[in-house]
């Protein structure tokens, strides 16, 4: 396979052809004193970031001082095509100049095309149905409602989720999130949700006819890129089928080709009842979706859920462009191949700090022997590499799916230096 990454100008001059019409660099009044202004104007729920970013191109972003960074975080697994990809820029520009938004009282070609595409790539096929939302948390909200509709004779009231999982921060999705520190300030949350250990034994112990749904991440991203135990998803499918519960897979971080398949449940040959999608779907344009399979597609009735912006022409046109580009440029195969290369590089670094390499494809978690993950990320940033630390002992590497040889080699150099500085 040839190096398929889009070509990058390595100078700091704005060179992106698609952005030629409107220079993306803000003038100094937009960036002056930004740290103080951030703390002054943004809600205290956010900590003030270290940098202000002003433009991106391919796998690189530039801060307000003109420094370039190799972006191996991609907006936390969002920028599937990197930054300012011509296919995405063109699709969004064309759509906003044609029809940006209509209400749910009307259909649009982009919405219909995306729904049909999602039914195809998820494997839901003709029995599939799609609900469009604006974020991952909203896709999960729809999943919570789906679970509530799976009542059976009325006794199915329990929803099972996993400890240390992350499903979002709205009240419904937070109710599924298995991180006490995130939940506790906002309790009481939704009733009937139970968090179990991620073992097959714990699952077997809890499943019965009162469970309406089991909701899980195929790989726990925010927990540090933690894989499910061997055979877990298959057993989850067997048990949910046996007891009439829905198997709902949260592929918000793992989906859209990142793991080397469209969705990571496809590595296991498992067919869920619903899959939640967001992040990489529209490559940076906000969108979320819940796709149902088979009988689960008949649970929602007209009028039971909706959202003003959900499935609007702008977001769905962006997603169509992203999915088409992933297919035509072979980016799923690229994710698998580049993922293997990156793992090989990380393995080859002579550092006792690395004790574990997790995840699949271009969703990579690096387990550390000491709690220095934040310091490694700070050093990497100072060197010109963006990665992040979901916790003290884990690094997360989730680059755009377009990375090629140049980015791999630059990563090797910068990541090795960052690790060695803390070994």
Cβ 74 vs Cβ 399: under 8 Å? yes
CB of 49 vs ligand PLP, minimal distance in Å? 16
Residue 360 in contact with ligand PLP, rule: CB under 6 A: no
State which residue, 147 or 353, has the beta carbon closest to ligand PLP.
147
Cβ 423 vs Cβ 397: under 8 Å? no
Binding region for ligand PLP (CB under 6 A) out of 44-52, 129-137, 188-196, 413-421? 129-137
CB of 221 vs ligand PLP, minimal distance in Å? 5
CB of 235 vs ligand PLP, minimal distance in Å? 21
CB of 410 vs ligand PLP, minimal distance in Å? 26
Residue 250 in contact with ligand PLP, rule: CB under 6 A: yes
CB of 17 vs ligand PLP, minimal distance in Å? 30
Distance CA 412, CA 342 (A): 8
Options 61, 88, 246, 278; binder of ligand PLP; rule CB under 6 A: 278
Residue 195 in contact with ligand PLP, rule: CB under 6 A: no
State which residue, 143 or 372, has the beta carbon closest to ligand PLP.
143
Residue 166 in contact with ligand PLP, rule: CB under 6 A: yes
Centre a 10 Å sphere on the Cβ of residue 73 and count the other Cβ atoms it contains. Answer: 21
- Residue 300 to residues 69, 120, 153, 271, Cα–Cα distance (Å): 45, 20, 17, 20
CB of 76 vs ligand PLP, minimal distance in Å? 6
CB of 167 vs ligand PLP, minimal distance in Å? 5
Rounded to 5 degrees, φ, ψ at 24 are -85, -10
> 66 burial class (0-12, 13-18, 19+ CB within 10 angstroms)?
exposed
Residue closest to 290 by CA, chosen among 138, 161, 186, 165: 138
Q: What angle do CA 388, 392, 393 make, to 5 degrees?
A: 90
Options 57, 141, 222, 273; binder of ligand PLP; rule CB under 6 A: 222
CB of 23 vs ligand PLP, minimal distance in Å? 29
Residue 274 in contact with ligand PLP, rule: CB under 6 A: no
Binding region for ligand PLP (CB under 6 A) out of 28-36, 136-144, 291-299, 350-358? 136-144
Cβ 296 vs Cβ 150: under 8 Å? yes
Distance CA 8, CA 219 (A): 31
Residue closest to 242 by CA, chosen among 264, 214, 267: 214
Place of tokens 């003290």: 392
Binding-site size for ligand PLP (CB under 6 A) equals 15
Q: Say which residues have a Cβ less than 8 Å from residue 282's Cβ, sequence separation at least 6.
A: 315, 316, 318, 319, 322
State which residue, 76 or 200, has the beta carbon closest to ligand PLP.
76
Q: What angle do CA 77, 83, 87 make, to 5 degrees?
A: 105
State which residue, 16 or 164, has the beta carbon closest to ligand PLP.
164
> Could you give the string, one character per residue 57-96, with x where binding to ligand PLP holds by CB under 6 A and - elsewhere?
-------------------x--------------------
State which residue, 137 or 282, has the beta carbon closest to ligand PLP.
137
Q: Return the residues of window 286-315 that contact ligand PLP according to CB under 6 A.
A: none
> 191 burial class (0-12, 13-18, 19+ CB within 10 angstroms)?
exposed
Options 71, 141, 217, 407; binder of ligand PLP; rule CB under 6 A: 217
Listed as own residue / partner, the contacts of 228-232 with beta carbons closer than 8 Å and 24 or more positions apart are 228/198, 229/198, 229/199, 229/200, 231/200, 232/198, 232/200, 232/203
List beta partners, residue 132.
289
State which residue, 6 or 161, has the beta carbon closest to ligand PLP.
161
Residue 260 in contact with ligand PLP, rule: CB under 6 A: no
**Radius of gyration of the chain from Cα atoms?**
21
Which residue sits closest to ligand PLP, CB atoms considered? 136
Which residues of the chain form contacts with ligand PLP (CB under 6 A)?
76, 135-137, 140, 166-168, 217, 221-222, 250, 252-253, 278
């Amino acid at each position: 396979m040839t190096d398929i990454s889009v070509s990058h100008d390595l100078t700091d001059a704005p060179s992106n052809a698609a952005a030629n019409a409107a220079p993306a660099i803000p003038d100094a009044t937009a960036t002056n004193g930004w740290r103080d202004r951030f703390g002054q104007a943004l809600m205290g729920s956010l900590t003030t970031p270290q940098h202000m970013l002003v433009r991106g191109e391919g796998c690189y972003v530039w801060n307000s001082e003109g420094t370039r960074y190799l972006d191996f975080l991609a907006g936390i697994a969002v920028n599937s095509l990197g930054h300012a990809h011509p296919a995405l820029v063109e699709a969004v520009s064309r759509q906003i100049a044609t029809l940006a938004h209509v209400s749910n009282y009307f259909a649009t070609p982009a919405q219909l095309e995306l729904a049909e595409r999602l039914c195809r790539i998820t494997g839901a096929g003709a029995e599939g149905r799609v609900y469009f939302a604006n974020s991952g948390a909203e896709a999960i909200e729809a999943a919570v409602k789906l679970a509530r509709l799976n009542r059976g004779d009325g006794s199915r009231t329990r929803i099972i989720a996993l400890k240390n999982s992350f499903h979002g921060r709205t009240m419904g999705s937070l109710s599924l999130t298995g991180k006490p520190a995130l939940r506790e300030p906002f309790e009481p949350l939704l009733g009937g949700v139970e968090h179990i250990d991620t073992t097959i034994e714990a699952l077997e112990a809890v499943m019965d006819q009162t469970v309406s749904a089991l909701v899980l991440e195929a790989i726990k991203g925010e927990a540090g890129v933690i894989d499910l135990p061997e055979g877990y998803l298959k057993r989850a499918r067997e048990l949910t089928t046996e007891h009439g519960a829905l198997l709902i897979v949260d592929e918000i971080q793992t989906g859209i080709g990142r793991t080397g398949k469209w969705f990571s449940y496809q590595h296991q040959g498992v067919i869920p009842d619903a899959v939640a999608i967001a992040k990489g779907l529209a490559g940076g344009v906000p969108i979320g979706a819940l796709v149902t399979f088979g009988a689960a597609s008949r649970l929602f009735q007209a009028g039971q859920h909706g959202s003003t912006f959900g499935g609007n022409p702008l977001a769905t046109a962006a997603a169509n462009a992203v999915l088409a580009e992933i297919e035509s440029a072979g980016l799923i195969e690229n994710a698998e191949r580049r993922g293997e290369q990156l793992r090989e590089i990380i393995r080859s670094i002579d550092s006792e700090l690395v004790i574990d390499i997790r995840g699949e494809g271009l969703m990579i978690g690096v387990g550390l022997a000491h709690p220095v993950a934040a310091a490694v990320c700070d050093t990497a940033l100072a060197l010109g590499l963006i990665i992040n630390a979901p916790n003290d002992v884990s690094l997360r590497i989730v680059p755009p799916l377009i990375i090629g040889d140049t980015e791999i080699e630059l990563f090797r150099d910068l990541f090795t230096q960052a690790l060695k500085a803390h070994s």
